[in-house]
């Protein structure tokens, strides 16, 4: 089974692109959605312990948590040490299910794919068990990206800068990608690129 990593910086159109793969019949694991789920489940207790006051009605409140991270940027590493293992465990369950179902290609939608080393190899050049087999990067012009992000409800320039500072620059992601999907030209053009990527992946799986 080909584990295909899908990534891209905020505002690039990655979520929309992931949905295009779903519509094409490819199983997609959504790391962001998984975080949303565990913020109402197994992550509540350890996150609340690390960041008191971020829980409302048994769920982690993202706005309160984001404020904690802005106030103390070093707190981000603490949060990641709690959340990443929980998210990865959910991913393993997804992979097991799709492999049993006989799927030959899956998409792993992971915003911080590069930042968490999911593309890395072992010292002997072989792949780590958690590494993806190939990478698709969703990209767009910086001006388009910023306009999209600042149009979101509750988004500010400070929040945008905080997010960008924790993500690998788009130009570096593009250099490391096996495939690029540019969303500058809208959804129809992106769908054509998704189709071309799927044809290439199907060829690899022959």
How sure is the predictor about 23, in pLDDT bands with cuts at 50, 70 and 90? very high
pLDDT in tens, 112-129: 899 888 886 555 555 566
Residue 56, phi then psi, degrees to nearest 5: -130, 125
172 lies in which domain range?
Answer: 2-27+103-204
Dihedral sign for Cα atoms in the order 127, 130, 136, 140: negative
Q: Do 198 and 109 share a structural domain?
A: yes
pTM of the model: 0.86
Q: In whole angstroms, what is the distance from residue 59 CA to residue 50 CA?
A: 14
pLDDT in tens, 155-191: 888 888 888 887 899 999 999 999 999 999 999 999 9
Q: Do 107 and 81 share a structural domain?
A: no
Asked if the structure places residue 94 within a domain, the reply is: no
Q: Do 23 and 116 share a structural domain?
A: yes
DSSP 126: P
Q: Do 166 and 114 share a structural domain?
A: yes
Quick one: what percent of the chain has pLDDT higher than 70? 93
How large is the average pLDDT for residues 28-37? 95
For residue 30, give the 3-state DSSP assignment. strand
Predicted pLDDT of residue 125: 54
Q: Do 152 and 119 share a structural domain?
A: yes
Q: Do 165 and 107 share a structural domain?
A: yes
In the predicted model, is pLDDT for residue 76 greater than 80?
Answer: yes
Q: Do 58 and 115 share a structural domain?
A: no
Q: Do 118 and 46 share a structural domain?
A: no
Q: Do 75 and 19 share a structural domain?
A: no
Asked if the structure places residue 98 within a domain, the reply is: no
In the predicted model, is pLDDT for residue 27 greater than 80?
Answer: yes
Asked if the structure places residue 96 within a domain, the reply is: no
């Amino acid at each position: 089974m080909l584990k295909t990593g899908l990534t891209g910086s905020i505002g690039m159109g990655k979520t929309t692109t992931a949905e295009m793969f779903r519509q094409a019949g490819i199983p997609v694991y959504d790391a962001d959605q998984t975080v949303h789920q565990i913020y109402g489940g197994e992550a509540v207790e350890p996150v609340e312990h690390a960041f008191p006051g971020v829980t409302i009605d048994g769920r982690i409140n993202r706005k309160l948590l984001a404020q904690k991270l802005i106030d103390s940027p070093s707190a981000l590493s603490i949060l990641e040490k709690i959340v990443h293992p929980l998210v990865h465990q959910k991913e393993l369950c997804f992979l097991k299910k799709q492999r049993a179902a006989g799927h030959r290609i899956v998409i792993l939608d992971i915003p911080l794919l590069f930042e968490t080393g999911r593309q890395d190899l072992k010292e002997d050049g072989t792949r780590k068990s958690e590494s993806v087999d190939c990478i698709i990067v969703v990209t767009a012009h910086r001006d388009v990206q910023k306009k999209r992000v600042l149009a979101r409800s509750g988004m500010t320039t400070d929040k945008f800068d905080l997010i960008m500072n924790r993500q690998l620059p788009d130009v570096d992601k593009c250099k490391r990608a096996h495939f690029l999907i540019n969303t500058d030209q809208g959804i129809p053009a992106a769908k054509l690129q998704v189709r071309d990527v799927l044809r290439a992946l199907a060829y690899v799986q022959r």
